[in-house]
Chains A and B, each alone.
Chain A
Amino acid sequence: MDSSQLILTLASIVLVSTPLIIAVCGEILTERAGIVNLSLDGTMLMAAMTGFIVAFETDNVWLGFLAGMGIGAFFAFIVAFGSIRLRQSQYAIGFVLTLLGDDLSAFLGQNYTRIPGPIIKHLPIPVLKDIPIIGPIFFNQDPVVYFAFILVAVTWFWLFRTQPGLRLRSAGDRPEAGFARGVGINFQRYLYTILGGALVGIAGASYSLNIKIGWSEGITRGLGWIALAIVIFGGWSPIRGMFGALLFGATKALATYLQRTFPEVSVVAFNAIPWVLMILVLLLVSSDFTERLVTIAPKSLQRPLQRLLRVSPPQALGSTFVEE
């Protein structure tokens, strides 16, 4: 592969990873507040469908994205409401919604399959796009891609450098402490589940309005589950989640490339990577392997290493909190 082809490939990896990055950021916000939204896969399908139909009928891509956001927020609201107010299992509700989203999107979208529709216009950024190498990869894309990267930075900043972020995290890590400091725990959980869902909706819509043109049944199927996996092995951190999503995109590209040149090499290995990584990280979290690793490292490296390897989930993830 010559260098210009490589650059094109890298650019397409960035493009293809974008929905995942957005979805991962959304789910990180939700899980950091203490709720697991299992409906991601179904939500993304619904958002892709709805986004496309709305954009098609109104001939306005942005309205399509808005519709996708709305659907994402709505599905997430059901999960939050069902688990907080109705006290049912968030796993069960999320799970049913994921299946429902799949079937519902296939049904409602049946008259709109495989027709071309409006797409986001390409938006190369002047000056920046001419920087050698990174220019064409990162700055010769469309607005959704830029949004995704800005979102990562904003999410990171929000979570770790702002007061609202502290409040959000307290809801997921130790609600009793948050409550004692005046944080409305259930409010945080509603807010960020819905917000996270809206972001997942954007991710879904971007698939039918940006990456693939138009809607077809099952277009994003599987991505929601992958996003859940990435949240975990990215250690609930937006930056690592971004790398996880890029890694996933890269392995897909690599798999196709290798398959062409070495038909013998199994595609299996690459597609399975995010899943194997997820299990490994989960195993790592509960054992004290990372702690022991940190203690053997040289003194000066210990603190940054500890911060890098911190992969534990929010302590109160998945549990209910009753405000007295």
Chain B
Amino acid sequence: MNANRWMRWVWPAVPIAGALVVTSLLLILFGAAPLEAFQAMYQGAFGDQSKILSVMAFWIPLLLASTGLLITFRAGLWNIGIEGQIVVGALAASWVALSLDAPAAVLITLEIVAAMLAGALWAALSAVFKTRGNVHEIFSGLALNSIAIILTNYLISGPWQPPEGGTFRGTAPFQPAALLPLYENSRFSPLSLILAVIAFILVVIALRGTFWGLKLKAIGKNLRSAFLLGVSSEREMILAMMFCGALAGLGGAVRTLSWFDSLRQSISGGIGFMALLVVMLSNYRIFLVPPIAFFFSMVLNGSITLQLRTQLHSSLGGILTELMVLFVLLFGDWAKLGFSRKKDDDG
């Protein structure tokens, strides 16, 4: 590999290291030793079995959402509305959990289907606003996110309030049959892992092996040429959003049925936005997404222990990951920084 190409691969390590440095500086500012702090984080993530299981349980919905975003990013879409799609997925699953009486297998299946459908439809709204109304998906996504959250708050404090009265914290715990079976005493559901793996495999196949994935790639790079080559962008964009919405909705269901045992106020926990960061940091490379999502989960769960041990606010984990994304965004593109010299075109 010539020097240029090598640099392009290796260079992103520099901004990532930069993020670590800045985070360490913050720690020092608050009187904590960085090494200790990072150790605390590590222990918080891997210290014992229950912690590892927590990391995995947090990882699954994040992975589902990130995987879905790979599809929308491939089509050139900025699906900021993913938060809302996660939320309505959780809402749909909750509705099934609260309204129906059936054996666990039936309930869970229905919850999953309902969640995916709800997420897909919520995403389709944004998509149709874009294709028919020319409304940028960032803005419709923001609006639909807020509406989904408002809807949740309404349901929690109103029709779905727990028997002791609405407190805005959440609904009453769901019937046990509605919840996903958990591994031992943790919040981790093996079933959700299986679903996530299946989803990931499906997305890999879709993006790399199907004609549809190729169409999305074409749309994402050059809408006009894709059209002239015969690709109908409207249909594909809507399908892409729905696919992502379904996975996001599934993530929401997993959150509400395993991480929690009820519908809560901040049901998504910012996972949707986090998923956007995961995909940005992975530079849209499919196979980097699961490990990076895992890393995020590790850091975020670890920082809870950090807070317990050092009294430092747990947001440090978020800061670390966000700085990484920011620095990679700004300084991670070796070519754009103007250091590399491109061959002259003799086109």
Interface on A for B, CB 8 Å cutoff? 38, 78, 82, 86-88, 91-93, 95-97, 99-100, 102-104, 106-108, 110, 222, 225, 228-229, 232, 266-268, 271-272, 275-276, 278-279, 282-283, 285-287
Contact = CB atoms under 8 A, between A and B. Distances in A.
Interface string B252-273: 0000000000000000001001
A96 B319 contact: no
A139 B325 CA distance: 46
B318 A276 contact: no
Contact of B135 (A86, A110, A268, A279): A279
Interface string B72-86: 000000101000000
Contacts of A103: 315-316, 318-319, 322
B337 A106 contact: no
Nearest to B23: A107
B143 interface: yes
Nearest to B126: A279
A228 B147 CA distance: 15
Contacts of A286: 133-135
Contacts of A97: 326
Main secondary structure, interface of B, reads helix
Contacts, number: 114
A279 B129 contact: yes
Contacts of A283: 129, 133, 135
Nearest to B281: A96
B158 to A, nearest CB: 7
Given A86-B337, A106-B313, A272-B150, A99 B139 contact: no
B205 interface: no
B146 A272 contact: yes
Nearest to B157: A267
Top 10 closest pairs, chain A to chain B, by CB = A286-B134, A103-B318, A275-B143, A103-B315, A100-B322, A106-B315, A110-B313, A282-B135, A268-B154, A283-B133
A88 B313 CA distance: 31
B330 interface: yes
Contacts of A267: 150, 153-154
A86 B26 contact: no
A283 B130 CA distance: 9
B333 interface: yes
B323 A100 contact: yes
A110 B323 contact: no
Contacts of A96: 277, 280, 322, 325-326, 329
Interface of B: 26, 78, 80, 129, 133-136, 138-140, 142-144, 146-147, 150-151, 153-154, 158, 270, 273, 276-277, 280, 312-313, 315-316, 318-319, 322-323, 325-326, 329-331, 333, 336-337
Contact of A92 (B151, B280, B315): B280
B147 A275 contact: yes
B287 to A, nearest CB: 21
Contact of A86 (B136, B322, B330): B330
Contacts of B333: 86, 88
B153 to A, nearest CB: 8
B312 A107 contact: yes
A104 B277 contact: no
A268 B133 contact: no
Contacts of A107: 26, 312-313, 315-316, 319
Contact of A91 (B78, B313, B323, B326): B78
A166 to B, nearest CB: 26
Looking at A95, A228, A229, the one whose CB has the most chain B CB atoms below 10 A away is: A95
B336 A86 contact: yes
B319 A266 contact: no
B143 A279 contact: yes
Contact of A100 (B80, B139, B319): B319
B273 A99 contact: yes
Nearest to B274: A99
B140 A110 contact: no
A283 B322 CA distance: 33
